Structure 1
């Protein structure tokens, strides 16, 4: 039993390693990336006059949200979905069999029942019943909203088939249509420095703290800032944190305590 579990754990780890070691990218021209913010493009490396778009979630998600070119969205979604390649497909097939064997040895009907048993639903059957019930209740609403997105794509790209790669882009477009909002235009009024200073002030006021930035300290990137944290009333030193921000990229500042 322990040997089987160790084998399963090793395969899980190998699967994740294959994803993490995946370093492929797509070469895309500027016209193929129409609609992408300048801040996104300027941080990409170039080769042969084209942009190198790594197949990481950090890069793929913005393309699926902002790129106006349907063929580019599809190309990058398909490539991203193939991360790990045939090796990971083989690992998954093996894992399905080994997990089923493991669950049967423990007296469960299948691995799903084993995984769910400690949780509130207790059995996979109850989960399926819940999902079927939710599907019945929400299918009409989902179909109506999907039709709105499909109609929007027809207006913008012609009579092209709607795919999963279009979902994020047209959800965002529908939101902009609904409130006549251009997120890119609004962002210019919220520079990262102003947002960070405002965020820190909120934390200081809310928790009665004082943050002092420490200059001239060795950090691993020039965007990293170091702050000491003090109790505002007693002036006791409570600790330190790193503030990691990437101006120009679509990410929120990150605190590392």
Structure 2
């Protein structure tokens, strides 16, 4: 799907959507601990702009009723410790949403999340057995698809007529949204800067590894990072930059 620049798009109007179900789609970016001050500053800026962009959408389309988050399998107060662990930078904003009228939804199945994480852990170790590698890849892909199907199912059964939800999920997700859900892609200016920084870090890492041992083939592909066809990921998607 080709996205129009925000400057060329009219701001969404509440009366244009009536009783439609609305979903704000927020690309979920999380860095591991110890990445350095520059990375933390960029991530803080990103989440600050996400807060502003979602606030603008709420003022136009209505307050968020339900909060969905990838890998979240608890709800209400029990969900907060999980979010603090897996999304420390975005947690403050998510807690602010929940402290108003929004409901933290158990978005995924805990057992499936754990199984998927186990397959990912095995792949990260680089199994020497081709049989084990094949089994791990198949397990990883099947549980990933099952997770995305569960997310779509939870949104479908939770988001009511005229309600507003927000989904925090990796940008290359494969969640299939129902046709009647109006999806608003939250893309503040800091998102492009963040993605450029990540790309530069990956290139620098590749260059360093090649310099250290030019005989070792290097691939940037990761089973968790395979980009889907975004046209099939969300229907009726619009861009909101704040």
TM-score (norm 1): 0.28
Give the structure, 1 or 2, with the largest relative contact order (CA under 8 Å, sep 6 or more).
2
| Bigger Cα Rg | 1
